[in-house]
Amino acid sequence: MRKLIAASFFASAALAGEASQDDFTNLSIEELLNLEIISASRLGPKTSQAPTSVSILTAKDIRTFGWRTLAEALNSLRGLFTSSDRNYSFLGARGFMRSGDYNSRILLMIDGQRLNENIYDGGYIAQEFMLDMDLVDHIEYVPGSGSSIYGANAFLGMINIVTKQGQAINGAQVAGEIGTFDTYKGRVSYGKSLDNGADVLFSASHFDSAGVENLYFPGFDTPETNRGVAHNMDDERADRLFGKFKFEEFTLSGGYVNRFKRVPTASFDGIFNDQQFFTEDKQFFTNLKYEKNVSDTAKLQLKGYYQGYDYHADQAYLLDGSRVINHDFASGRWWGGEAQLTFSPINGHRMILGLEYQYDQRQALTNHDIDPYFSYVRSRRSGHRLEAYLQDDIQILDDLIFSAGARVDYHHMLNSMQANPRLGLIWSPLANTQFKLLYSSTFRAPNSWERDYNAFGFVANPDMREEQIKSYEGIVEWRSANGLRLLGSLFHNDISQLLMGRPATADIDGDYSVQNYGRYHAYGIELEGEKRWSSGRLLKASYTYNLLTNENSHGTWATYSPQNLFKLHYAESFFNDYLTLGIENIFIDRRKLDYAGSFGDGYNLVNINLSSDKLIRGLDTSFGIYNLFDIHPQMPGVSDQVDIIRMNGRELRLKLQLTF
């Protein structure tokens, strides 16, 4: 049925009408650097003057390079790299990644609203992400810790996804995609700026993929386990809803995603090639925001929200020779609000004062065998979070800004208050040149899963403390009058009290527990050059060198950490802008998979995307070739039998979008 719907859509696409687009697509380098972005309400009036190095991807970038998921877009940014265990996608920053941590050390937001859920602190970035990429106006990435302005999960950085306004769609929109591995996607959207000044946007979509029919895992290559071939075990589907209504000072928004994924890796001692192993995630949010300029020098923002997350997984495993289904379940609900005042009490000062509150109404975890019934985990928590922050950007001289901020947090998962500063010195000796010296610290509290999981050899540890990080960075940024931008950065991260599973101590009754054991040092350099032409041509290159060391292993190179990242992006328009070519080259260096010396090979990924919105009026078309040279990147595994996971080879996608 879904194939018939897709075929009908593509056949009728020639009836396209006139499109109108008014989104964040055509800004020059100068305009980007002088833009007041949403997250910058806590940073500074302009990205060039913010006490950080902000990276921005626009809607035009997303369309030009054909990024299908947020994970693909983030993998293009300097210093970031992604991984996958064929169930979830994981994000690494400046050399640091913990496979299986569900991105709990990166703060993920939509329009400034925190998305990390309250069970695993997960920030989900692939098909389990809340938004279609077609609804994204731009993406903001702020590297480094940011406690004084963002809070606990901005441990390694912050990502804010800014959604389009309804006027950017300006009518009804229907989109369809077909791709390799029987992949189909359909979307319907409506957006409009009304005569009374209100702006409305609504969108719904469905994604369905059969995945790779036969996946081979050498560790299971025995007659009893189908010679290591997982057959029809890679399917995935996702449904999404998103809406936004803006009128005068009020904005009401909400989103929902339901994602199902079958798991082919037989992780957690599951039966290999058994269809009864899947995960399902549901997440939603609602947000009401009020913004008002109360004077020429003061702006007030108030917001309230309600959010939820549900997860469940069924897994077949053998118990005393019998096949048993294990059911894993988590459910979270939380609500809260924020008040923020931005003002200038005296000339030369720009101050931000904020108060946030969150009530974790439900943090529930259960795990049990279905038949015969046996309960392993049953946990339910609730509690309060309260945060207050203050930041002052002081214009010491015409070319010198000192930024000082501090944040105090109460978190019900910790026994003590947390206080963290952020300091920045920004010198602009020339109008097109900035030097920045930055320091910040932050924490991450134990999440509900780390605190309460008590089964299969792991025992709860009531003595957990917060993870801590201190970040130091020096940045130089220069731009020319004709759109060339150059950036260089030196950084150092000192990570301590990292929560890790390790053998339980003598006073803990069990085999393993999660303890504040890890300590890492990160040293690195980032270089980036970008040039945008008025013709639409783009050339962008970045190089990152990371050295992440495990200080508990005598300063040796840490696992999962690539030392070299190189990224190149080129775009060109042809035939009087009728066709746009986007070429992406991503090099990720090899990664150590364990301290015994096992390595995952480095890889060089080349993607090509062709797009046009002028072939037929109102019709936007694109054709993407992903992984052009048909390599199979190696990702960290999930068990001794699956120590390396091979990713897909070459993939194709055809997408048509009709606006009328």
What is the CATH number assigned to the segment(s) 29-337+344-659? 2.40.170.20
Q: Which residues of 210-224 are buried (b: 16+ CB within 10 A; e: fewer)?
A: ebbeebebebbeeee
The arithmetic mean of pLDDT across residues 612-627, rounded, is 94
Is this structure's pTM higher than 0.85? yes
Distance of CA 213 to the CA centre of its chain: 28
Please tell me the predicted confidence (pLDDT) of residue 40. Answer: 42
Q: Any idea what the Cα angle at residue 45 is, between residues 149 and 340, rounded to 5°?
A: 45
Which tokens go with 627?
Answer: 């992984």
Q: Which residues pair with 342 in a beta bridge?
A: 299, 352
Instruction: Return the pLDDT at 454.
Output: 82
What is each CA distance from 557 to 193, 335, 522, 542, in whole angstroms? 54, 41, 10, 23
The reported pLDDT for the residue numbered 246 is 97
Is a pLDDT exceeding 50 seen at residue 6? Answer: no
Separation CA 307–CA 174 (nearest Å): 28
Residue 485: CA count within 13 A, CB half-sphere: 24
Nearest Cα to Cα of residue 525 among 473, 486, 484:
473
pLDDT of the residue at 236: 98
Q: Is the pLDDT of residue 527 over 50?
A: yes
Q: Is residue 36's pLDDT more than 60?
A: no
What whole-number percentage of the chain has pLDDT above 90?
79
Q: Using one digit for the tens of pLDDT, what is the confidence trace for 374-403?
A: 999 999 999 999 999 999 999 999 999 999
What's residue 4's pLDDT?
A: 34
pLDDT tens, position by position, 198-234: 999 999 999 999 999 999 999 999 999 999 999 999 9
pLDDT(118) > 70: yes
Q: What would the pLDDT profile of 424-436 be if each residue is shown by its tens digit?
A: 999 999 989 999 9
Least confident of 19-28, 251-260, 560-569, 591-600: 19-28
The residues, any chain, with a CB within 8 Å of residue 173's CB and separated by 6 or more, are 187, 188, 189, 190, 191, 657, 658, 659, 660
CA distances from 87 to 262, 281, 294, 481 (A): 7, 11, 48, 46
Q: What is the mean pLDDT of residues 302-329?
A: 96
At 31, the pLDDT band (50, 70, 90 cuts) reads low
As a whole number, the mean pLDDT across the chain is 90
What integer is the mean pLDDT of 508-518? 79
If you count them, how many residues does the chain have? 660
Buried-exposed string 90-107: b where 16+ CB fall within 10 A, e elsewhere: bbbbbbbbbbebbbbbbb
Q: Name every residue whose Cβ is closer than 8 Å to that of residue 573 and which is 6 or more positions away in sequence.
A: 535, 536, 537, 579, 580, 581
Structure tokens at 10: 């593509």
Among residues 328, 220, 204, the alpha carbon closest in space to that of 274 is found at 220
pLDDT bracket for residue 417 (50, 70, 90): very high
Query: Is pLDDT of 139 > 80?
Result: yes
Distance CA 305, CA 5 (A): 36
Q: Which three-class secondary structure state does DSSP give residue 37?
A: coil
Per-residue pLDDT tens over the stretch 432-487: 999 999 999 999 999 999 998 887 877 888 889 999 999 999 999 999 988 899 99
Strand order in the sheet with 113-114: 55-58, 136-143, 157-163, 107-110, 113-114
Q: Which residue has the higher pLDDT, 606 or 152?
A: 606
Q: Computed over its alpha carbons, how large is the radius of gyration of the chain? A: 24
For every residue of 559-598, DSSP letters joined together read TT--SEEEEEEEEEEETTTTEEEEEEEEEE--EE-STTS-
pLDDT of 510 strictly over 70: no
Q: Look at residues 477, 568, 468, 563 and name the one whose alpha carbon lies nearest to residue 519.
A: 468
pLDDT value at 11 more than 60 = no
